[in-house]
């Protein structure tokens, strides 16, 4: 089916399982376990010689529908759904890497991912080197004989830096490593990393795949050889997506394409407006010609995405942080929350929220300043969003 239909059609039709009742909408299977016809069938299911459901920690029909649908959209052979985006990253690393392995990762990644890499994983014998997302030569120089994985998030959080997936995959493969790409900001509606040379795609389904800020979930995708050990980790460790959450994500995927196009259109309009405001020092958005990786984004992504980040210009009596906080506190429509991908626009101060556990030195290296504000543009009318940011129109 994957080669036969367009992405929009796959989002609606792929992966659907239908019971004998002939339901047209996907069924929700709220079961912890599943019955077998005989002891022999139970043994065959547990032994892996017969496909079928066993126990919802690792097999559930609703979760399978979500996995198959997302795999179709990403062009992946296999998908493993997890309890959250962070558990997807953890499952990927635990499935692929071992103690003594080395990981090269971008320093421009989600703050909690930085904590996972630099604190927790090091306790278990994994070495991690952080480099600039956009400096391919730095990735090449960081590779070692024991390097197992390259990890990139593109566009990055929060500065929307864009990494060259095709070139990074070449460098990773030359070093004998795999390339994993966090595709949270774009989703397969705007970017398909596997087609650009990546080996693994990771999602926080909590964001745009849900699209309405309802439930948590994650996913790891790639070919069967790479994803099978990730599935084995999930089966044992239980970082499992619930059937209900999977059902929400299945329905979210049906509208993913049209939602991402709407998010991107509003984000571009807002970013263009922000560039003209006296209270703004700099705007970061991949769809703007002023973005450092604009040409690459035009080539690698269908659209710029829904995240707009900018630096607020402090007044004479303000510190950088005070200027950012004053803008955030002056909003009445946009939700003050660190989540993104919601139909409701959200605003946050990365230095004191998403990246607050990252050291000041590391934030400085990543370009996250105290006057930086991130807006995840929702589906409201863009004129209403502009009105809510009217503090920026004043000198």
Q: Final residue of a domain: which of 254, 279, 307?
A: 254
Number of domains observed in the structure of the chain = 2
Q: How confident is the model at residue 158 (pLDDT cuts 50, 70, 90)?
A: very high
Please tell me the distance from the alpha carbon of residue 340 to that of residue 346, in angstroms, as a whole number.
Answer: 6
Same domain assignment for residues 132 and 77: yes
Would you say residue 2 lies in a domain?
no
Q: How confident is the model at residue 358 (pLDDT cuts 50, 70, 90)?
A: confident
Q: In this predicted structure, what is the pLDDT of residue 1?
A: 60
Does the pLDDT of residue 295 top 80, yes or no? yes
Please tell me the distance from the alpha carbon of residue 326 to that of residue 29, in angstroms, as a whole number.
Answer: 47
Would you say residue 381 lies in a domain?
yes
Same domain assignment for residues 95 and 184: yes
Nearest by Cα to 342 from 381, 307, 378, 374: 378
Q: How confident is the model at residue 19 (pLDDT cuts 50, 70, 90)?
A: confident
Would you say residue 178 lies in a domain?
yes
Burial of 269 (0-12, 13-18, 19+ CB in 10 A): middle
Q: In this predicted structure, what is the pLDDT of residue 121?
A: 92
Q: Final residue of a domain: which of 228, 254, 280?
A: 254
Q: Final residue of a domain: which of 235, 254, 273?
A: 254
Same domain assignment for residues 53 and 190: yes
Q: Which residues contact 374 (CB under 8 A, 6 or more apart)?
A: 157, 158, 307, 308, 309, 340, 347, 348, 349, 350, 354
**Domain with 153 in it: what CATH number?**
3.40.640.10
Q: How confident is the model at residue 365 (pLDDT cuts 50, 70, 90)?
A: confident
Two tokens, residue 334: 């946009």
Would you say residue 1 lies in a domain?
no
Same domain assignment for residues 248 and 159: yes
Same domain assignment for residues 76 and 221: yes
Q: In this predicted structure, what is the pLDDT of residue 272?
A: 98
**Domain with 355 in it: what CATH number?**
3.90.1150.10
Would you say residue 88 lies in a domain?
yes
Task: Using the structure block, give the residue that is written with the tokens 């994985």.
Answer: 149
Q: In this predicted structure, what is the pLDDT of residue 2?
A: 61
Would you say residue 330 lies in a domain?
yes
Q: In this predicted structure, what is the pLDDT of residue 220?
A: 98
Domain that holds residue 219: 7-254
Does the pLDDT of residue 111 top 90, yes or no? no
Would you say residue 239 lies in a domain?
yes
């Amino acid at each position: 089916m994957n080669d036969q239909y367009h992405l929009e059609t796959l989002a609606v039709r792929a992966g659907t399982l239908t019971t004998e009742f002939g339901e047209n909408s996907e069924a929700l299977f709220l079961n912890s376990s599943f019955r077998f016809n005989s002891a022999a069938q139970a043994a065959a299911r547990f032994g892996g010689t017969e496909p079928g459901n066993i126990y919802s920690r690792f097999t559930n029909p609703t979760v399978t529908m979500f996995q198959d649908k997302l795999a179709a959209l990403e062009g992946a052979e296999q998908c493993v759904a997890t309890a959250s985006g962070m558990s997807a990253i953890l499952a990927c690393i635990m499935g692929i890497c071992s103690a003594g392995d080395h990981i090269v990762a971008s320093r421009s990644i989600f703050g909690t991912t930085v904590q996972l890499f630099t604190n927790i994983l090091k306790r278990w014998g994994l070495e991690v080197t952080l480099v600039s997302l956009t400096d391919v030569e730095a990735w090449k120089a960081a590779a070692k004989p024991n390097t197992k994985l390259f990890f990139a998030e593109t566009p990055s959080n929060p500065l929307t830096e864009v990494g060259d997936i095709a070139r990074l995959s070449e460098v990773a493969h030359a070093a004998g490593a795999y390339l994993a790409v966090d595709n949270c900001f774009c989703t397969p509606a705007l970017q398909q990393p596997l087609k650009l040379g990546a080996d693994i795609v990771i999602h926080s389904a909590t964001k745009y795949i849900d699209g309405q800020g309802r439930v948590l979930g994650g996913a790891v995708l790639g070919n069967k050889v790479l994803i099978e050990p990730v599935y084995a980790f999930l089966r044992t460790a239980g970082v499992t997506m619930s059937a209900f959450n999977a059902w929400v994500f299945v329905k979210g995927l049906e509208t993913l394409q049209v939602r991402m196009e709407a998010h991107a259109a509003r984000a571009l309009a807002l970013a263009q407006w922000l560039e003209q405001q006296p209270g703004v020092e700099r705007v970061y958005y991949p769809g703007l010609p002023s973005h450092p990786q604009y040409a690459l984004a035009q080539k690698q992504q269908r659209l710029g995405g829904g995240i707009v980040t900018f630096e607020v210009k402090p007044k004479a009596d303000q510190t950088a942080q005070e200027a950012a906080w004053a803008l955030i506190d002056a909003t009445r429509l946009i939700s003050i929350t660190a989540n993104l991908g919601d139909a409701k626009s959200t605003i946050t101060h990365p230095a004191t929220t998403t990246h607050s556990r990252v050291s000041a030195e590391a934030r400085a290296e990543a370009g996250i300043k105290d006057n930086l504000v991130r807006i995840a543009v929702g589906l409201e009318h863009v004129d209403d969003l502009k009105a809510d940011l009217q503090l920026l129109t004043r000198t």
